């Protein structure tokens, strides 16, 4: 099962609505971690484009929120240095697997504000499914 374009656009729209007043980059990848939908809000940081896409991919590659992976990738953690794999991962909050029931159909990644705001906006996208 894979996220449809209609679903991906719905996820982006819900995330954008939650980001009201923030300047965010919002990326959605499909089940194969390929970019499916993307929105860069006016004046969002250019450097956050890549971060949002990598957050979405990281969430899909491992089917965990990126913040969870981050907590495991600290020195001494079981996933220490994982961020250097797969062409570079992002291991701080803002990436969430997109699921329908128990099936992962993609991932969302959000970047452009605090990690708390990034995560909240990503959660709003997930909730749209």
Q: The domain spanning residue 40 has which CATH number?
A: 3.30.450.150
Q: What is the pLDDT of residue 116?
A: 96
Region 3-22: what's the mean pLDDT? 96
- Per the CB < 8 A criterion, the answer to whether 12 and 124 are in contact is no
Instruction: Note the pLDDT tens digit of each residue in 43-90.
Output: 999 999 999 999 999 999 999 999 999 998 999 989 899 999 999 999
Q: What is the pLDDT of residue 20?
A: 86
pLDDT over threshold 90, residue 19:
yes
Q: Could you list the residue range(s) of the whole structural domain that residue 9 is in?
A: 5-127
Query: How many structural domains compose the chain?
Result: 1
- Residue 38's nearest CA partner among 111, 114, 127, 120 is 111
DSSP 117: H
Cα 84 to Cα 1, 70, 76, 80: the distances in Å are 29, 12, 16, 10
Q: What is the pLDDT of residue 109?
A: 98
Helix (H, G, I), strand (E, B) or coil at 89: coil
Q: What pTM did the predictor assign? A: 0.95
Instruction: Note the pLDDT tens digit of each residue in 80-119.
Output: 999 999 999 999 999 999 999 999 999 999 999 999 999 9
Cα 58 to Cα 43, 77, 129: the distances in Å are 25, 17, 19
> Cα–Cα distance between 118 and 123 in angstroms, integer?
9
pLDDT over threshold 90, residue 12:
yes
Instruction: Note the pLDDT tens digit of each residue in 28-44.
Output: 999 999 999 999 999 99
């Amino acid at each position: 099962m894979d996220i449809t374009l209609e679903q991906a656009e719905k996820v982006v729209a819900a995330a954008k609505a939650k980001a009201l007043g923030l300047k965010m980059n919002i990326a959605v990848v499909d089940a194969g971690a390929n970019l499916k939908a993307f929105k860069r809000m006016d004046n969002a940081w250019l450097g956050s484009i890549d971060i949002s896409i990598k957050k979405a991919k990281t969430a899909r590659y491992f089917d965990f929120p990126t913040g969870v992976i981050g907590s495991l990738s600290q020195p001494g953690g079981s996933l220490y240095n994982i961020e250097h794999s797969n062409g570079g991962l992002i291991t701080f909050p803002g990436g969430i697997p997109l699921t329908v029931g128990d099936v992962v159909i993609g991932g969302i990644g959000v970047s452009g504000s605090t990690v708390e705001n990034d995560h909240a906006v990503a959660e709003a996208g997930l909730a749209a499914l």
